[in-house]
Structure formats: C-alpha cells, structure tokens
C-alpha cells in the first residue's frame, strides 16, 4: 500500500481505526434493526393469538387458556420493553446530558456571582 505524499502513517492508522469503529457501529445497528424486526413480528403474532384466545375464553372456561393468555401477556410486556428500549439509549442522550450539566452548572455559578455583586453593591 502506498501512501499519498501528504499523509503520514499516523493519520493513516487513525483513519483505519476510525473506519473499523464505523464498521463495528454499523454492524451493531444492523443487528439491532434485525432484532427489532423480529420482535415486532413476534409481537404482532402474539397479539393475534391473544385475540383468538380471548374469543375462545368467552366460549369455554379452560384453565389452560387462562395460563396461555397470562403467558402471552407477560411476553408482550417484555417485547414492548425491548422495543421501547431500542429507541432510547444512553448513547442518544449522552451528549445533550453533558451539555445540560455543563451549561446548567455554568448558569448557576454566574447566578451566584451576579447575586453576590448585587447584594454587595
């Protein structure tokens, strides 16, 4: 591999490291997207099964139906949590959080300084 005249080995290795990191992030996103699709499909199937069992439950009282309905409801709740967590993650809020902490803290300090200036003046 020949390097362009204006690039150094350090910048090339940094680029390769950034590229590898980007590939890893893309693979994680693809994997998470596939999981979201599977969970969404499973949730839809479970909801259909739940509706069917609800109609069957009204026709006949069966403890197995009740147990299966309870199991489906628990699994649906679990899937809803998984799907909701796919939209919200620490990575999404990390930068805005630290900016709020930084500028909020700066605002408090400026407020104290102004208050002490006004109080002493």
pLDDT for position 108: 84
Domain residue limits at 62: 10-88
Question: Is 65:53 a contact under the CB 8 Å cutoff?
Answer: yes
**Whole-number Cα distances in Å, 75 to 17, 68, 71, 81, 85:** 40, 10, 6, 10, 15
pLDDT single digits (tens) 60-93 = 778 888 889 899 999 998 888 887 766 556 666 6
57 assigned to some structural domain: yes
Same domain, 73 and 114: no
| Model confidence, pTM | 0.54
Verify that 70 and 19 share a domain, yes or no: yes
More confident residue, 19 or 87: 19
Q: What is the pLDDT of residues 37-54, one digit of tens each?
A: 898 899 999 999 999 888
User: What does the pLDDT read at residue 6?
Assistant: 54
Give the residue-averaged pLDDT of 85-112. 73
């Amino acid at each position: 591999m020949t390097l362009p005249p204006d690039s150094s080995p350090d910048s090339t290795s940094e680029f390769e490291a950034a590229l590898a990191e980007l590939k890893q992030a893309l693979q994680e996103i693809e994997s998470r997207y596939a999981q979201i699709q599977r969970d969404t499909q499973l949730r839809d199937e479970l909801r259909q099964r739940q509706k069917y069992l609800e109609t069957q439950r009204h026709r006949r009282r069966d403890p197995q139906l009740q147990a299966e309905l309870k199991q489906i409801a628990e699994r649906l709740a679990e899937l809803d949590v998984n799907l909701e967590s796919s939209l919200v993650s620490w990575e999404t809020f990390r930068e805005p959080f630290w900016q709020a902490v930084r500028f909020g803290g700066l605002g408090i300090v400026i407020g104290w300084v102004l208050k002490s200036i006004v109080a002493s003046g």
